[in-house]
Amino acid sequence: MRVIALQSGSKGNCVYLESDNVRVLFDAGISGKQAQERLAYFHIDIRSIDALLISHDHIDHVSCAGVFNRKFGIPLWITQKTFKVAKSQIGEVKQVNFFTSGETIHFDGLNIETIKTPHDAVDGVCFVADDGKKRFGVCTDLGCVFNELPSVVQSVNGLLLESNYDPIMLRYGEYPPELQDRIRSSHGHLSNEEAAELLLHYGQNLEVVMLGHISEKNNTERQVVSTHQKILGNNFRAELAHYRTNSNCVYI
């Protein structure tokens, strides 16, 4: 399996994953042109992608879903509730396939499990892709460490995990108190500490970790690395998932 974080964070999310026979994108929060160019850098034709799966209705995940479908003919996979709420952002689509959260979607040699999250979207999910040999989780916008999350982390060989904010930077940063409360609530995002603790306790099967959805206002790459190193010690071996051309591609 190969995974490329084309972009991760509040300015847009889009993750590419391929197994032997199937190529999928998770989320469409970057422009069609950006996705096309960034995939082309890895010699991947965006028109060869078999499915676009949407995690939830927030703009940084869904904004260009309609474009990906209309311009490149990528079939859209989304829950009905998310589609209803995001319809005005998505616009007309030629092909839409609905799944329900908790359902496993079957492609040719690749199953994609959808796991309901408590993040503050109408019907948010995170994903685990399983090709029968390896399992990779795409887990951002989680809300909190919800009941199923430890077993999800334990079950995967590779993981893109959100490490969204540093609590002190959030507390003393520029966000108004209501927005701060939203981020640290059980419907917001995981902090660096929460992400690192999760990896420490449940990451024993992980061969590859990408840390993503890193806040630009309430976090820094340096803070992410130092917190994870402090908690994980010698076990720390994560990549940071930003858009940095060739550094966001991993294999398991």
Point out which residues pair with 105 in neighbouring strands: 112
Give the range of 35-43, 92-100, 141-149, 156-164 binding Zn ion by CB under 5 A.
Answer: 141-149
Give the range of 42-50, 76-84, 127-135, 137-145 binding Zn ion by CB under 5 A.
Answer: 137-145
Dist CA 223 CA 4 (whole Å): 23
Point out which residues pair with 78 in neighbouring strands: 98
φ/ψ (deg, to 5) at 197: -60, -40
| Binding mask of the shown chain, residues 60 to 89, with x at each position contacting Zn ion by CB under 5 A | x-----------------------------
In the complex with Zn ion, the residue whose CB is nearer, 44 or 64, is 64
Give the range of 43-51, 110-118, 139-147, 225-233 binding Zn ion by CB under 5 A.
Answer: 139-147
> Contacts with Zn ion: how many residues (CB under 5 A)?
3
DSSP secondary structure letter of residue 186? T
Among 18, 131, 141, 194, which residue sits at the site for Zn ion (rule: CB under 5 A)?
141
Dist CA 95 CA 220 (whole Å): 39
In the complex with Zn ion, the residue whose CB is nearer, 126 or 250, is 126
CA angle 157, 237, 8 (to 5 degrees): 75
In the complex with Zn ion, the residue whose CB is nearer, 81 or 134, is 81
Q: Give the shortest CB-234-to-Zn ion separation in angstroms.
A: 31
- Please name the residues in contact with 19: beta carbons below 8 A apart, sequence gap of 6 or more: 1, 109, 110, 129, 131
| Binding mask of the shown chain, residues 187 to 226, with x at each position contacting Zn ion by CB under 5 A | ----------------------------------------
Q: Give the shortest CB-61-to-Zn ion separation in angstroms.
A: 6
State both tokens at 64: 């260009």
In the complex with Zn ion, the residue whose CB is nearer, 60 or 131, is 60
**Interface with Zn ion in residues 23-62 (CB under 5 A):** 58, 60
Dist CA 205 CA 147 (whole Å): 19
Query: How many other C-beta atoms can be found within 10 angstroms of the C-beta atom of residue 245?
Result: 9
Quick one: CA dihedral 52, 92, 29, 243, positive or negative? positive
Dist CA 91 CA 71 (whole Å): 12
Q: Give the shortest CB-121-to-Zn ion separation in angstroms.
A: 6
Q: Does 18 bind Zn ion (CB under 5 A)?
A: no
Name the site residues for Zn ion (rule: CB under 5 A): 58, 60, 141
